Amino acid sequence: MNQKVIITGSRGIAAGLAQALNERKYEIYLIGGEKSDCEALEKSCSNIVGFSPIDLRDEKQTEEAFAQAISKLKGLDHVVSIVGGSGRSFGDGAIEDITKSAWDKTLELNLTTAFLTAREAIKYFKSNGPGSLTLTSSALAISPSPEHFKTHAYAAAKGAINTLVTTLSSTYLDKNIRINAVSPSLVATPMAARAAENKIISEFTSRKQPLIGNQLPVENVVSGYIYLIENPAVTGQILEIDGGWSAISGV
């Protein structure tokens, strides 16, 4: 029987993961993201059984989307939470400059979406498990770059996701529910376009991620999600995929 997975998101890493899992014959349901992106993925991936391009910050929409996904998939084995993004457009930056509104919106986009996704996944797995939940953190949670990425609300949200992995994996170990996260640095996705187009940040990236010398290809990060999904002996782990970012200080 094919494994059944919910992925939150529809472009960048989420799209790459959907394509990779489609090749591995997973049955896939997409939640969140853009309708046009979901439609394009559905056309190219025969094992996508449906999508709900909802706002994952909305509790009711998320509950309804999970119910629909589980119904369409006829069960659930894995959930991967990828939806999130920069809070710069809200006003995220140095903490002395962040308004409460910017703080709230950045955490809603990155932490509330992960919370609601985790809650709905664990509610299902507690009664129907085993299962795996994979969240998405960031290198900035533990390896800051204050010169170029002084976005303190975003870093706080991703740090909280790391804590969720630790506490949830311990809490639900006896239910055989595995909880992990992938923690990438700069990845070649639409979210990182600003950094890719900035010559100074691009030069910084080549020094900070020397194993790649550029932004990480999406497939390097996707392979980490697949490892966490498919290895039944792994839980409570934050898998850093960063091209050397966290191993280098002073850059």
The answer, yes or no, to whether residue 193 has pLDDT greater than 90, is no
Q: Decide: helix, strand or coil at residue 98.
A: coil
Give the pair of three-digit tokens for residue 238. 């934050």
Domain range for 92: 4-190+217-243
| CATH number where 55 lies | 3.40.50.720
Is residue 209 one of the residues assigned to a domain?
Answer: no
Number of domains in the chain: 1
Q: 105-140, pLDDT tens digit by residue?
A: 999 999 999 999 999 999 999 999 899 999 999 999
C-alpha distances out from residue 159 to 10, 62, 85, 97, 141, Å:
24, 23, 14, 20, 5
Banded pLDDT at 176 (limits 50, 70, 90): very high
Is residue 231 one of the residues assigned to a domain?
Answer: yes
Is residue 203 one of the residues assigned to a domain?
Answer: no
CA distance 22 to 78: 14
Is residue 199 one of the residues assigned to a domain?
Answer: no
Print burial letters for 164-178: b (CB count within 10 Å at least 16), e (below 16). Answer: bbeebbeebeeeebb
Is residue 207 one of the residues assigned to a domain?
Answer: no
Global pTM reads 0.96
Which residues on neighbouring strands pair with residue 29, listed in sequence order? 6, 50
Is residue 202 one of the residues assigned to a domain?
Answer: no
pLDDT mean over 34-48: 97
Element (H, E) at 79: strand 78-81
pLDDT mean over 155-175: 98
CA distance 37 to 45: 12
Query: How far does CA 91 lie from the centroid of its chain?
Result: 22
| Residues belonging to the chain | 251
Q: Is the dihedral of CA 59, 64, 68, 71 positive or negative?
A: positive
Is residue 165 one of the residues assigned to a domain?
Answer: yes
- What pLDDT is stored for residue 189 in this prediction? 87
Is residue 40 one of the residues assigned to a domain?
Answer: yes
pLDDT mean over 78-91: 97
DSSP line for 180-195: EEEEESSBSSGGGHHH
